[in-house]
Amino acid sequence: MNLMPEQSNKITVNSVAFDLYSSFLKGAAKGPEKIKEVFFNGASNFCTESLYDLVENEKIEFELPLSLVNGYQDIEPLTYQLLKQGKRLISLGGDHSISFPLIAAHHKYHGPINLIQFDAHPDLYDNFDDNPYSHASPFARVMEKKLVRRFVQIGIRTWNPHQKQQAARFGIEVFDMQNLPKASDLSFVGPTYITLDLDALDPAFAPGVSHHEAGGLSSRQILDFMQEINADIIGADIVELNPNRDWHDMTAMAAVKFLKELAGKMLGV
């Protein structure tokens, strides 16, 4: 763990335009630029639901996309460099494979962290499609490396015996759609990271993802969890927007809403 510089009083949004480890469909690499475009397109303002204007108060900034010259292996060191500068990060993906190196960078900087995952899938395959770093496998790697002290998954509704065994093996707290907790009942001690796969949403709210899984969370449910969870959020990612499948930017707009509320939660406003 590092001696930390003074932490920035604003949120830095960085882009990780990587989808080479996607299965089924590519397109998530276009997600970060689309979210940024919709953030500034004038369809909505820059306020959180608590009426705090992130732009007027200069509390949000957008970094240039990570320059992944060497591909996937550059994500962790480049993210760690941003953290060493005192930046408080919300990272936009990209497919869910990017969460492993992002979490590794936060662990390297903060020490052991808690992890909250919103997702339709647990992403715990030991080795999916002969790729242990697939977007279906990041949290198997996270747990093998012992990067988190407590791991809670919310919204799961499509898994299999192998992934259930993985969850039991690693001691993960899985709240599937049939057994959702109250947000107010969740409390975390110590620094906590949120990873949000947009397919946690029901496809009615988020057509712009590669894997449509019926029976998911509503936008309001995710917002309530974000706002009410008792946790010190030190970083987050929003992943798996596939603009190729979106309808009138519906899913991108949901991502923007989540981005604003996550920023507000991290700033305590």
Residue at 128: amino acid letter:
F
In angstroms, the Cα distances linking 158 to 32, 94, 145, 189 are 26, 21, 25, 29
Domain boundaries, the chain: 11-108+185-267
Fold of 11-108+185-267: Arginase; Chain A (3.40.800)
**pLDDT one-digit tens code per residue, 27-58:** 999 999 999 999 999 999 999 999 999 999 99
Residue 226 has pLDDT above 60, yes or no: yes
Q: What angle do CA 238, 28, 30 make, to 5 degrees?
A: 100
Digit-coded pLDDT (tens) for 53-111? 999 999 999 999 999 999 999 999 999 999 999 999 999 999 999 999 999 999 999 99
Q: Provide, rounded to the nearest whole percent, the portion of the chain with pLDDT above 90.
A: 97
Confidence of residue 2 (pLDDT cuts 50, 70, 90): very low
**Predicted model pTM:** 0.97
Question: For 235-255, what is each residue's pLDDT tens digit?
Answer: 999 999 999 999 999 999 999
Number of H helices, E strands in the chain: 7, 8
3-state secondary structure of 209: coil
Question: Is 60 exceeded by the pLDDT of residue 176?
Answer: yes
pLDDT at 6 over 90: no
Separation CA 163–CA 155 (nearest Å): 15
Q: Residue 3 above 60 pLDDT?
A: no
d(CA 161, CA 167): 10
**pLDDT at res. 114:** 98
* Contact partners, residue 184, CB within 8 Å, separation at least 6: 228, 230
